[in-house]
Structure 1
Amino acid sequence: MSLTVKSISVIYNPINQNNTFTSGDFISGQVILDVAKDTKMQSLSVKIKGKAEVCWSERHGKTTVVYSDKEKYYSVETFFVREENTHGNDHETLKDPSGQPYSSVVAAGRHVYPFTFQLPLQHFPPTFKGSVGKIVYTLETKLSRSMRISSKAKAEFHYVPSPVVSNPELMAPQYGTKDKQMKLFTSGSVSMNINTEKMGYCLGEGLKVLAEVQNNSSRAIKPKYCLYEKHSFFARGKRKLHTHDLFKEEGEPIEQNSRKTVTKVLPIPPSLTISILNCRILKVEYRLRVYLDVPYASDPEIKFPIVILPLQSLSAASSATNSDFQIRNYPAGGNAYPNPPSMPPSAPPLNAVGQSGQFAAPGHYRPPLSQFPAPGYPGPPLSQFPAPGYPGPPGQFAPSNYVGLPAQFGPSVSHQSDSAPPPYLEYQLYPQLPEHPEKS
């Protein structure tokens, strides 16, 4: 940071106690610029973007190979100040409260530039950070001056997709059967029939397991339960896998030559990352392993895929308009309009540089577009979304300040080698789970 620019930062206002955002939410904040003297700006912008990336290295003999890949979900930038000859016309330029362009020259002191974005209603993967990969959503600001190094700052925000509307596969029961003939130090046989009520569970919900065990062996056996997570990372046709046991529990012993039905409810920790199945380069999956602890013999086991879903009530996003992406710049006090959106107003700043006059007040819309569905329509079921690149279900009314996601910022698709599983449909949030090779 130069002596002229004392500091620059971007902050946002939380909208709930968990400090999370979901599809359709408004995220408002301020770019705060503190300068030591009169300063001429070439441009000042704020950008919102989301992306996933993976990177790891492997040794092959004497050679180190780096595997990396990225997937961009969106990147939209808007300017408070810009010179027309340095940027194209594909970016929004905000105006001051009087409807005039922001001044490119600011006096010494602290200046606050408020802004508001509305997140698209598409289902993007949630915020995640793993060993060799991550999914991040950020707000970034950049100040450019002639013949000077640009000053930048960013802030990450936590994104969680909205709950799945309905998916019969997630609500269907799961069944598994296993028989095993004992050898060597244990004679006889054991068998078990295991079923769960469903595949999809919300954070904090109880996972109910019903086990019917027939012990025809010469020893007492114990049913045991293990929930573990699988993190898979993909790049250049390679897959890197990390597994981790979350918890283990065991039931009461079942004596030899007896039959018993056991019901076990396993609590799903509320701190888990929800399942990530709609990202091309990384996956977060969960498995329930039910097995019988047989002394002096290998343990028969059954595995079930478990999908961890978002909580049912994350925010007031359901009341948002079905737009693809919106940018608004409201006045700092939040009282200029009679019907502001459902979000916390910005705190009154010092030397606030105000609201864009080119954007209409909340509730002001263009005429309805007949090909779009009625207002409030939640969009088609996830399984009906077409191939990646589809921009998501638009609403009937397009706000006058509508800024659509450029096509190049949609989920990308790339060809993968046969060693990597095929990509999921980006908008089918929880599709059929493929079976990957397990690691003990």
Structure 2
Amino acid sequence: MLFDKVRVFAVQLDGARAGAEPVFHGGQAVAGRVLLELAGAARVGALRLRARGRARAHWTESRSAGSSTAYTQSYSERVEVVSHRATLLAPDSGDVAALPAGRHEFPFSFQLPISLVTSFEGKHGSVRYAITATLHRPWAPARRAQKVFTVIEPVDINTPALLEPQAGAREKVARSWYCTHGLVSLSAKIDRKGYTPGEVIPVFAEIGNGCTRAVQPRAALVQTQTFMARGACKQKQTVVASVDGEPVGPGRRALWPGRALRIPPVGPSILRCRVLSVGYSLKVCVDIPGSSKLLLELPLVIGTVPLRPLGSRSASVGSRASLLQNWGPGMEPPEAPPEYAAVVSESQLPAASPGPVPVPRDAGVTLEGPYFACLQEFRYRPPPLYSEVDPHPPSETGRPRCMTC
């Protein structure tokens, strides 16, 4: 039987290295080969290939109706983003083709759509891409080989919207058992909205404690997974990084002049998918003993294309100067953003398997993107003083000199 003669049946992708698989983006060509190694001559009906990409959301909710009646409501939605079919081997005449013993390779290639969603594995949904080869043979069940591949949607943080500073302020009256203890205020700023994994977010904050007990400030990077199906919505939030400040005593004020919060290896934001989305936010809060916490949330976007010095310097230098002016002492120049592939390694990708991939309960999904470039020698500095760059200072009379003097 052919089943006994098949030694190797697998799908391989071009560009694969030892321990690392290629990563693709929208509009790119996916090429590879199907390997078939036979121990002896065999008859084959056909060899077909199918590539699929699906975004899926699914969860259940238990509901009760009365004291003894309960039922479970299921929500499910699925979108197909890639669909490609090809026949790699078909008999010219007759129903079967005879293949000799040995190694056989069947190359394939297809083009991905321009706009694709980043591969993702979550608690209530996923985005998966896979190539399946099916070997049909007479008088025997079909044999299949599957290869999962990763897609990353480029998210460029050098756009004007993601270079804008984010700021906010909140305050509340601390109360406990109908007793007022004082006013607690919180103001926070960050220099831009877009960051990449491995970067440090400098958090500028001011905490005012007008109550009679010490309060504890904290900052955290939170990932929010949102799943949508049948008009319903399900969310899951996970803290991926956090930093604590020093307690602020009664009647005192504290200043964060750029407290560092490093972004760990997390997947990029998913913003354009009908069934799921992945968003990030910086949450700065003040824990008040005996009362609910004071919370301030600033939106973030985690991208894959790092900050460039030329295109972004003129757009964001003014915001950095205002931050330094408003928040007192300056901070040390941050390190250059690392390459996305250097932070999110191949070993942190989910294992390629035909079935569902297990996902850690409280961990972000990590992906790889080696095709994104990163400029290494970037150092961010505040703008120089006006007197240092003005080649025509005012004259002795107080009037500015003309350009021809």
| TM superposition score normalised by structure 2 | 0.66
Find the partner of 1:44 among 34, 44, 47.
47
Find the partner of 1:297 among 291, 311, 317.
291
Q: Which residue of 2 aligns with 1:247?
A: 241
Q: Which residue of 2 aligns with 1:80?
A: 88
Judging by fraction of residues, say which structure has more helix. Answer: 2
Structural mapping, 1:49-198, within 5 Å: 49-61=52-64, 62-82=70-90, 104-120=97-113, 122-164=114-156, 166-184=158-176, 187-198=181-192
Is the CA contact 2:132–2:147 (under 8 Å) kept in the aligned structure 1?
yes
Task: Give the match's secondary structure for 1:169.
Answer: helix
Is the CA contact 2:11–2:32 (under 8 Å) kept in the aligned structure 1?
yes
Is the CA contact 1:14–1:20 (under 8 Å) kept in the aligned structure 2?
no
Greater relative contact order (CA < 8 Å, ≥ 6 in sequence): 1
Residue 105 of structure 1 deviates from its aligned partner by 2.5
Task: Give the match's secondary structure for 1:191.
Answer: strand
Judging by fraction of residues, say which structure has more strand. Answer: 2
Distance 1:186 1:67, change over 3 A: same
Q: Give 2:49's aligned amino acid.
A: V
Is the CA contact 1:71–1:281 (under 8 Å) kept in the aligned structure 2?
yes
Identity percentage of aligned residues: 29
| TM superposition score normalised by structure 1 | 0.61
Distance 1:170 1:46, change over 3 A: same
Q: Number of residues paired by the alignment? A: 298
Residue 147 of structure 1 deviates from its aligned partner by 4.7
Residue 85 of structure 1 deviates from its aligned partner by 11
Residue 267 of structure 1 deviates from its aligned partner by 0.4
Q: Which residue of 1 aligns with 2:4?
A: 3
Q: Distance in 1 between matches of 2:340 and 2:223?
A: 24
Q: Which residue of 1 aligns with 2:393?
A: none
Find the partner of 1:269 among 248, 264, 272.
264
Q: Give 1:306's aligned amino acid.
A: L
RMSD between superposed Cα atoms in Å: 2.9
Structural mapping, 1:315-354, within 5 Å: none
Q: Which protein shows a greater Rg? A: 2
Is the CA contact 1:45–1:79 (under 8 Å) kept in the aligned structure 2?
yes
Distance 1:48 1:165, change over 3 A: farther
Find the partner of 2:25 among 15, 22, 25.
22
Structural mapping, 1:215-234, within 5 Å: 215-234=209-228
Name segments (4+ residues, structure 1) moved above 6 Å.
none
Residue 157 of structure 1 deviates from its aligned partner by 1.1
Q: Distance in 2 between matches of 1:299 and 1:106?
A: 72
Residue 249 of structure 1 deviates from its aligned partner by 1.7
Q: Distance in 1 between matches of 2:222 and 2:301?
A: 12
257-266 vs 35-44, which deviates more?
A: 35-44
Q: Which residue of 1 aligns with 2:196?
A: 202
Is the CA contact 1:51–1:70 (under 8 Å) kept in the aligned structure 2?
yes
Residue 38 of structure 1 deviates from its aligned partner by 2.9
Residue 72 of structure 1 deviates from its aligned partner by 0.9
Is the CA contact 1:224–1:248 (under 8 Å) kept in the aligned structure 2?
yes
> Structure 2: 5+ residue runs without aligned partners?
65-69, 307-338, 342-369, 371-405
